[in-house]
């Protein structure tokens, strides 16, 4: 799974706001972290959780049992 065009546009917008020459116009760290680039949709969050669960399951099988699963 790669990044969408929308992800790249959000990233570009964030970087441009962070690199603003005029400090009065530049985004603050607090507001930078509130930027849409860092917001995930419910679908993305679900996919991430499913991927983590899958990796834990596969890792447990590779390393010898379910007792190592978190």
**What is the pLDDT of the chain when averaged over all its residues?**
80
User: Quick check: 15 and 27 in contact, CB under 8 A?
Assistant: no
Q: How would residue 2 be classed by pLDDT, with cut points 50, 70 and 90? A: confident
Mean pLDDT of 33-57: 72
Identify the residue with better confidence: 13 or 67.
13
Q: How would residue 3 be classed by pLDDT, with cut points 50, 70 and 90? A: confident
CA–CA separation, 18 vs 34, rounded Å? 13
User: Quick check: 26 and 17 in contact, CB under 8 A?
Assistant: yes
Predicted model pTM: 0.56
What is the separation of C-alpha 66 from the centre of its chain, rounded to a whole number of angstroms? 28
In the block, residue with structure tokens 């116009």:
25
Mean pLDDT of 20-42: 92
All residues at 6 or more sequence positions from 20 whose CB lies less than 8 Å from its CB, including other chains? 26, 27
């Amino acid at each position: 799974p790669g990044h969408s065009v929308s992800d790249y546009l959000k990233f570009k917008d964030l970087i441009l706001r962070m690199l603003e020459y005029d400090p009065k116009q530049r985004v603050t760290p607090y507001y930078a972290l509130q930027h849409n680039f860092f917001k995930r949709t419910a679908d993305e969050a679900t996919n991430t959780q499913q991927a983590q669960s899958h990796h834990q399951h596969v890792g447990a099988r590779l390393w010898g049992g379910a007792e190592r699963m978190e």
